[in-house]
Amino acid sequence: MNKTNRTITLEFDVDDYILLLDDRREVVKRNFGWTIPDGVYDYFCEMLEEGFAPGNPSPMYVIDNMAVNGHYCEIEQTELLEKLLDCARGLYANENGGEQIGDDDLPWFVEERKQDLIDSSGILDELFFTYDDTGSDWGIGVCYGL
């Protein structure tokens, strides 16, 4: 039998597609030890929920590519964190008549205004945010190369 490449289009509910991605993520972690930081994965899922469609939607392709070819780090490990936070402080002060933002409110402001900070700082392509269950311990990461 002569096999030819054929393409079919299938429609999936986003939640069902994310479940397929979750399954593949567990497989590559268990079988290969490949991991994808939660913040990166959560950010990608948010993009899907907002309408992003990967060029090759195969869960194997998407997850394997994120795990093997993705480049990301916690921003706390770079000099970018202080520059980003300074940018956030400046943005807040400009919008609030010079008033300074408190350190406790800074993470929430950064998350709320992340696109403005990306645009105005000129230092990052994408940001992801991680929190503990209480929201008191936060981290910022930079995601590039996906």
* 132, pLDDT greater than 70: no
* 86, pLDDT greater than 50: yes
* 139, pLDDT greater than 60: no
Q: How far apart are CA 10 and CA 53, in angstroms?
A: 13
Percent of the chain with pLDDT over 90: 21
Q: How far apart are CA 124 and CA 108, in angstroms?
A: 18
Buried b (16+ CB within 10 A) or exposed e, 71-91: ebeebeeeebeeebbebbbeb
Contacts of 65 (CB under 8 A, 6+ apart): 146
Comparing CA positions, the residue from 79, 90, 144 lying closest to residue 113 is 90
pLDDT at 16 (0 to 100): 96
Note whether 124 and 142 are within 8 A (CB). Answer: yes
pLDDT at 71 (0 to 100): 61
pLDDT at 13 (0 to 100): 94
Could you report the per-residue pLDDT of 53-85, keeping only the tens digit for each?
888 889 998 899 888 877 665 555 556 667 777
Q: How far apart are CA 14 and CA 18, in angstroms?
A: 6
Predicted model pTM: 0.55
